[in-house]
Amino acid sequence: MTSDPAMTAKQRREAHMIAHLESISSSLDFAIATVHHMNADADDWKRHMARAQRIRELKETWENAKARVAALQRQVSPDASSEPERSRAIAGSSTPASSSGSIM
């Protein structure tokens, strides 16, 4: 905005308003860009959290599978057969009913 002496008071007010509106427009552009950036960050965070949750679930599944394999290995190992009580405790309810006697 220039203070040209040939400008009328109305023209000076209009020039001042235009400069003010341009400043507001620039501020709004910055705010919009910031919001877009924040949304992108939030989306990245959500993806990160979903991946972290999936990794936790896979680790838990892996640990459960390892525990099952270890239990099965104990059931079929030579020292498990020398300890029938331990073998039955490990086997639990999977032991057939017919092994304890006749069913009638």
- Residue 7 pLDDT: 84
Continuous segment of H or E residues that includes residue 19: helix 9-76
Q: Structure pTM?
A: 0.46
Extract the residue ranges of the chain whose pLDDT is less than 50.
Answer: 95, 98-102, 104
- Residue 102 pLDDT: 46
**97 secondary structure, DSSP code:** G
Residue 45 lies in a domain: yes
Contact 71, 77 (CB under 8 A): no
- Residue 104 pLDDT: 41
Domain that holds residue 42: 9-89
Residue 76 lies in a domain: yes
Residue 2 lies in a domain: no
Residue 99 lies in a domain: no
The count of structural domains within the chain is: 1
Residue 94 lies in a domain: no
Contact 97, 103 (CB under 8 A): yes
Residue 101 lies in a domain: no
Contact 18, 2 (CB under 8 A): no
3-state secondary structure of 90: helix
In this predicted model, what pLDDT tens digit does every residue of 73-90 receive, in sequence order?
Answer: 998 876 655 555 655 566
Residue 25 lies in a domain: yes
- Residue 82 pLDDT: 53
